[in-house]
A and B are shown apart, each in its own frame.
Chain A
Amino acid sequence: MHTLDEKWQDMTPGCTITGNGTSKLFNTGDWRVAKPIFIADKCKQCLLCAPVCPDSSIPVVDGKRLDFDYDHCKGCGICAANCPFGAIEMKEGE
Chain B
Amino acid sequence: MAKKDRLSGNEAVAVAMRQVNPDVMPAFPITPSTELPQYFSSYVANGQVDTEFIPVESEHSAMSACIGSEAAGARTITATSSAGFAFMWELLYVAASNRLPIVLALVNRALSGPININCDHSDGMGARDSGWIQLYAEDSQEAYDNYIQAFRIGEHPDVQLPVMVCQDGFIISHGVQNIELLEDKEVSKFVGTYKPERALLNPGTSFAVGPYSVTEFYFEAKRAQAEAFKNAKKVVKEVAAEYKKLSGRGFSWFEEYKMDDADYAMVVMGSAAGTGKDAVDELRAKGVKAGLIKIRMFRPFPGAELAKALSGCKVVACMDRTESYNTQSGPIGADIKTALYDADLAKIKVLNYCYGLGGRDVTVKSLSSVFKDMQKADETGKIGKTYRYLSVRG
Contacts and interface: CB of A to CB of B under 8 A. Distances in A.
A17 B224 contact: no
Given A8-B223, A8-B224, A22-B208, A14 B100 contact: yes
A15 B100 CA distance: 12
Q: Which of A6, A8, A9, A14: most chain B CB closer than 10 A? A: A14
Interface residues of A, number: 17
Contact of B224 (A4, A9, A18): A9
B198 A8 contact: no
Contacts of A16: 98, 198, 207-209, 211
B305 interface: no
A6 B209 contact: no
B97 interface: yes
Interface string A1-25: 0101011110111111111101000
Contacts, number: 53
Q: Which of A4, A8, A19: most chain B CB closer than 10 A? A: A8
Nearest to A13: B99
Interface in B202-223: 205-211, 213, 216-217, 219-221, 223
Interface in A7-62: 7-9, 11-20, 22
B82 interface: no
Nearest to B221: A15
Contacts of B217: 2, 6, 11, 15
Contact of A19 (B99, B206, B211, B227): B206
A15 B212 CA distance: 9
Interface residues of B, number: 23
A4 to B, nearest CB: 6
Nearest to A4: B216
Contacts of A15: 210-211, 213, 217, 221
A17 B207 contact: yes
B179 to A, nearest CB: 35
A14 B220 contact: no
Interface string B76-98: 00000000000000000000011
Nearest to A21: B206
A11 B207 contact: no
A74 to B, nearest CB: 15
Nearest to B160: A13
A17 B198 contact: no
A20 B206 contact: yes
A14 B206 contact: no
B209 A7 contact: no
12 contacts: A6-B217, A6-B220, A8-B219, A8-B224, A11-B221, A13-B228, A14-B97, A14-B210, A15-B213, A16-B211, A18-B205, A20-B206
Given A8-B220, A8-B227, A14-B100, 18 more contacts: A4-B216, A6-B220, A7-B220, A8-B219, A8-B221, A8-B224, A11-B221, A13-B228, A14-B97, A14-B209, A14-B210, A15-B217, A16-B198, A17-B208, A18-B198, A18-B206, A18-B207, A22-B208
Across chains A and B, which 8 residue pairs bring their CB atoms closest together, nearest first?
A14-B99, A8-B223, A8-B220, A13-B99, A14-B98, A18-B207, A17-B208, A11-B224
